Amino acid sequence: MEIQQIENRLRGINIVLGALQSASRDICKNCIQLEGAKIKMGKMIKKLGMDLDAASICCEKTKADLQTRIDTLSKVAEELEVAEECTCQKTAKNCKIGEGCLINASVDLMKLVQ
Amino acid sequence: MARTRCGRILGAEIYIEEGDTTTLYFINQLRAYQLVLAALKALDQDICHDGCSLPTTVNRVIKRLGKLKNDLEASNVVAEKKESLLSKIDSFLADANRLPQDTSQTCRKAAGECLIGSGCFATGALNLFKEITVPEAPKI
């Protein structure tokens, strides 16, 4: 059960980071929402690592494989490109999509993992 | 008329004339496609590659992109901008066509492999389009 839960969260994080990498190539690179999402995903990955450490997984190889995947995602999150000075791009009047936010909605994909 | 920045798509900064909602509609859609396709590419590396939800979603994206292309061609967007946006649609279509499209495979939930609960990442990725609420689609 513990392995499955960690596995599910890893799958979710992989997709969210894929979307955020794409957002970082859009005007979202200068957006405070992306800056926040990067921090949030970093914390989520760190927590996942701690949960893996605390999990009672007998098979060392399984645990090591999960750790490797966590490390890979951690690096991807760290390398998300965010501008040094960020402002909400809606406030800056650059993002004109309406009330929604592509970054927040991407992070919310994690809610699909129950 | 003043030009305003409104996106960066496939590495190109995009500007529109203030108030040009027709062009903005297509730009906003393309911003979403850029993100959705990235999420679908990530899913393609997951077990979703062997399922049916990812191909179903990919087929929907291809169909929607085709319609967007037709609408853009028929629109009154200025020629130079239209060509630039059409080339981006073609690039996204090429990306989408590289993703799985065979819907005859078994859903990974039904196969007992996808155990995330009742949600679906592929459907969730497609729902990212719902974030784009303005401007309304131009009447073509």
B140 pLDDT more than 90: no
Q: What is the pLDDT of residue A94?
A: 97
- Closest to B123 in 3D by CA, of A112, A21, A4: A112
DSSP A49-114: HHHHHHS----HHHHHHHHHHHHHHHHHHHT----SS---TTTTT---S-S--HHHHHHGGGGG--
Which residue of chain B comes nearest to A14, CA vs CA? B42
Assigned domain for A54 exists: yes
Residue A1 pLDDT level (bands cut at 50, 70, 90): low
Q: What is the pLDDT of residue B7?
A: 98
Cβ-defined contact of A114 to B117 (cutoff 8 Å): yes
Would the ipTM clear 0.90, i.e. be above it?
Answer: yes
A20 pLDDT more than 70: yes
Query: Longest C-alpha distance within chain A, in Å?
Result: 53
Q: What is the mean pLDDT of chain B?
A: 97
pLDDT in tens, A30-50: 999 999 999 999 999 999 999
Residue B120 token pair = 């679906």
Structural domain for A90, as ranges? 2-106
Number of domains making up chain A = 1
Assigned domain for A114 exists: no
Which residue of chain B comes nearest to A95, CA vs CA? B6
Chain A residues lying within 8 Å of B5, measured CB to CB: 27, 94
Which residues have a Cβ under 8 Å from the Cβ of B131 and sit 6 or more positions away?
A97, A98, A100, A101, A102, A105, B32
Assigned domain for A113 exists: no
Q: Where are the domains of chain B?
A: 3-131
Assigned domain for A12 exists: yes
